[in-house]
Amino acid sequence: MPDEFYFAVRPMLAVSNGSLVMLSTPYGKRGVFYEAWESPAGWEKYQVTAHEIGRVTPGFLEEERASLPPLIFRQEYECSFEETEDQVFTTDLIDQAVTSEVKPLFATGG
């Protein structure tokens, strides 16, 4: 689901006092699911890889490993948040380059 769907659903919890459950495999180090997973608070998190599911046979996983690009296999079967395929700089490199200690060169409107 697009992130916009998540943002549209959240206000519905105000009156119902409902629960929000997100189930997914990682799809890059981006978006609401990644941000929630990386957040230290606010979510109860469970990680279950395909290797831990009895219904998924080792033979099937080996066929998939042989058929899929390594990034896709790790992402879909091993719950690994991978860099997106079209990303020029890694997420870690970008995070290391950003600091609140440096003031912007140009003031933004306001």
Question: What domain range includes position 85?
Answer: 3-90
Mean pLDDT to the nearest integer, 1-26: 90
- Is residue 43, in this structure, part of any structural domain at all? yes
Q: Each residue of 36-82: pLDDT tens digit?
A: 999 988 899 999 999 999 999 999 999 999 999 998 999 999 999 98
Is residue 92 very low, low, confident or very high in pLDDT (cuts 50, 70, 90)? low
- Is residue 16, in this structure, part of any structural domain at all? yes
- Is residue 68, in this structure, part of any structural domain at all? yes
At residue 106's C-alpha, the angle toward residues 100 and 110, to 5°, is 90
Q: State the chain's mean pLDDT as an integer.
A: 86
Is residue 101 very low, low, confident or very high in pLDDT (cuts 50, 70, 90)? confident
Dihedral sign, CA of 65, 66, 68, 71? positive
Mean pLDDT to the nearest integer, 8-21: 90
pLDDT at 95: 67
Measured from the Cβ of residue 91, the count of other Cβ atoms closer than 10 Å reads 17
- Is residue 58, in this structure, part of any structural domain at all? yes
- Is residue 67, in this structure, part of any structural domain at all? yes
Q: What is the rounded CA–CA span in Å between residue 81 and residue 32?
A: 13
Number of domains in the chain: 1
